[in-house]
Amino acid sequence: MVKRKQSLVLSVLVLTAVLAAVGLALTSLVGFAQRSQEPAVAAQENPAGIAQVPLVDAVVFRDTRDTGDYGKVAWVPLDGPRGQRTTTGLSCDRVYRTGGMLSCLSVNRGMNTSYGSTAYGIGGHRLAVDALPGEPSRTRVSATGMVGVTSFITGESYEQVGFSTRTTIATPGGKDYGNLQDFTIKIGDQVLTAEDRNVWGSPSPRTATRSMRPLLPENKPGSCVDH
């Protein structure tokens, strides 16, 4: 009798654990789908102080001091990086600015953490808002107005072995080149055929006569090349 009760209790515990695992997996899957399809982070329109950031000769960065301005976008003069910093009202987890365009990647932590990407133009005007599938990794803005964004797939990070990333390039309010992972990738004249690959970083060129690199769209759709 005792053994039967023990077996019954064990069966109930195992069933509970299985149901909990299935529920967690379904919740993660649904959350990923929602984050991938909808702008999840409430992007600010005309954030305070962004319009006052000089278009040239300024270093723009994320304030990481242990103060009330933690996470805010700030700037200092290029010729005085150790001088007084000016903090704006915009909060970002990753930020990059070229000329009058600024790219801000954000994390909205809560019961259902969400991730978003927002591009701002001159004067702090919001140009585009997009959802990200996971934690932001980095962003770049080219002199031609193209924005590159790299994010982790939900639940993955540098700390995990075999993590996955997604890198997209688009012109805010214009052409979306999509996910570079889906492009045909060339290294020199050779096509990269490895299935296990991650594309991220997308540093931008200094002049408007070159495209974004290291992996960038060629003239024909669905292809990119290492320059």
Query: What is the per-residue DSSP string for 66-111?
Result: SSTTTTEEEEEETT-TTS--EEEEEE-SEEEEETTEEEEEEEE-ST
CA distance 179 to 169: 7
Is residue 24, in this structure, part of any structural domain at all? no
CA dihedral 128→135→182→161, nearest 10 degrees, is: 170
Is residue 6, in this structure, part of any structural domain at all? no
Is residue 222, in this structure, part of any structural domain at all? yes
Would you give per-residue pLDDT tens digits along the chain (227 residues)? 555 555 655 565 656 665 555 455 445 444 444 434 444 445 677 789 999 999 999 999 999 999 999 999 999 999 999 999 999 999 999 999 998 899 999 998 888 889 999 999 988 899 999 999 889 999 999 988 899 999 988 654 555 555 678 889 999 988 898 888 788 887 888 888 876 666 655 655 444 444 444 444 443 344 444 33
Tokens 């982790």 identify what position? 152
Is residue 28, in this structure, part of any structural domain at all? no
Is residue 21, in this structure, part of any structural domain at all? no
Is residue 176, in this structure, part of any structural domain at all? yes
Host domain of residue 167: 38-226
Prediction pTM value: 0.68
Is residue 114, in this structure, part of any structural domain at all? yes
Is residue 1, in this structure, part of any structural domain at all? no
Q: How many domains does the chain have?
A: 1
The count of residues in the chain is 227
CB 131 within 8 A of CB 151: no
